[in-house]
Amino acid sequence: MGPPRWLLLIHQLPPEPAYLRVKVRRRLAKIGAVALKNTVYVLGNTDEAYEDFEWLARDIAAEGGEAVVCAASFLRGISDEEVEAMFARERDVAAQAAEGPALDRVEPGRTWVTRTGIKVDRMASAWLIRRFIDPEARFKFVPARGYRPEPGELRFDMFDAEYTHEGARCTFETLVARFGLGDPGLRDLGEIVHDVDCKDDRFGRAEAAGVAALVDGLVAAHPDDAARLARATDLFEGLYRAFARRRR
C-alpha cells in the first residue's frame, strides 16, 4: 500500500474551559484540517502537518483533554478521492470568503437531489429550499453513491454536492450562507439543526434534544422519504415561526 497518505487528529475536549472548543476549532481551520467526524480531523501526511497536529494535541492535553495523532490509510467508508474533494471544497470556501460574498440564485422549479433516508439536515434543508430559495422546488431521493446528476439538477447533503457541509457548517447553514438568508429566525433554527446533525454541541441549544427526538419519531414512523419530508415541513415551519415571533 505504501506509506499512509493522511494524518488524523482524534480528540476529546473537556466540558470546561468553555473557550477551548472555540480555540481548537479556530486552530484547525487555520491549519486547513478537514473534519471527517465530529472529533476526527485529517491533513495530508507531511512534516508540517504533523507538527501542526502535535502542537494542537499538546494544547488539548494541557487543558485536560485527550488527543491522538496517527498516520492512516483509508480502506473502506471513504476514499482518498473523497477526502481530496473535501479539501477542494474548503479551498473554494476560503477563496469565496477572500473575494467577498457572491450570493447564489437559482431559477424556480429546479430538481433538488439528496440521499435517501433523510434525517434532520436533509429534512430542514429541503424545507429551507422550498420556503426561501426555490418555492417550486422538486425533490429526488437517490442512493448515496454512484448517482450521476441529470442536467439542471442541484444536489444537497451528499458527496460532491453543490450544497453540502462546508467547514464547520452543516448543509442547512451552508444554504443560509450561500443564499444570503439573514433572517435571525433561520439562524436560530440553523444552530439547532447543526447541534442535532453534527452532535458537537457547538451552539449548546437547549431545544436540540427535543428536535432530535421528534426527527427520530418521523424516521421511525415514515420509511418513505417523501412522507418524511411532508411531515418534517410542518415541524420546521412551526419552529421557524416560533423563533421569528420571539425576535419581534
**pLDDT of the residue at 236:** 97
**pLDDT of the residue at 3:** 84
CB of 189 closer than 8 Å to CB of 239: yes
The CA-based dihedral angle spanning residues 225, 174, 207, 119, taken in that order and rounded to the nearest 10 degrees = 20
**pLDDT of the residue at 102:** 65
Hunting for cell 433516508 — which residue is that? 117
Taking the C-alpha atoms of residue 206 and residue 28, their distance in angstroms, rounded to an integer, is 26
SS (H, E, C) the chain: CCCCCEEEEEEECCCCCCHHHHHHHHHHHHHCCEEEECCEEEEECCHHHHHHHHHHHHHHHHCCCEEEEEEECCCCCCCHHHHHHHHHHHHHHHHHHHHCCCCCCCCCCCEEEEECCCCHHHHHHHHHHHHHHCCCCEEEEECCCCCCCCCCCEEECCCCCCECCECCECHHHHHHHHCCCCCHHHHHHHHHHHHHHHCCCCCCCCCHHHHHHHHHHHHHHCCCHHHHHHHHHHHHHHHHHHHHHHCC
Output the pTM of the full model: 0.63
**pLDDT of the residue at 158:** 92
Cβ-in-10-Å burial (0-12, 13-18, 19+) of 192 comes to buried
Cβ-in-10-Å burial (0-12, 13-18, 19+) of 121 comes to buried
**pLDDT of the residue at 227:** 96
CB of 11 closer than 8 Å to CB of 35: no
**pLDDT of the residue at 86:** 87
CATH number belonging to the domain at 6-99, selected among 3.40.50.1110, 2.60.40.10, 3.30.70.240, 3.90.226.30: 3.30.70.240
Taking the C-alpha atoms of residue 227 and residue 221, their distance in angstroms, rounded to an integer, is 9
Residue extent(s) of CATH 3.30.70.240 domains in the chain:
6-99
CB of 240 closer than 8 Å to CB of 189: yes
Per-residue pLDDT of the chain (248 residues), as tens digits, is 578 999 999 999 998 877 788 889 889 988 999 998 888 999 999 999 999 999 999 999 999 999 999 999 998 888 999 999 888 887 776 666 565 556 899 999 999 999 999 999 999 999 999 999 999 999 999 998 888 899 999 999 998 899 999 988 999 999 999 999 988 899 999 999 999 999 988 898 999 999 999 999 999 999 999 999 999 999 999 999 998 877 65
Q: Are strands 138-142 and 111-115 parallel, antiparallel or unpaired?
A: parallel
Taking the C-alpha atoms of residue 134 and residue 222, their distance in angstroms, rounded to an integer, is 25
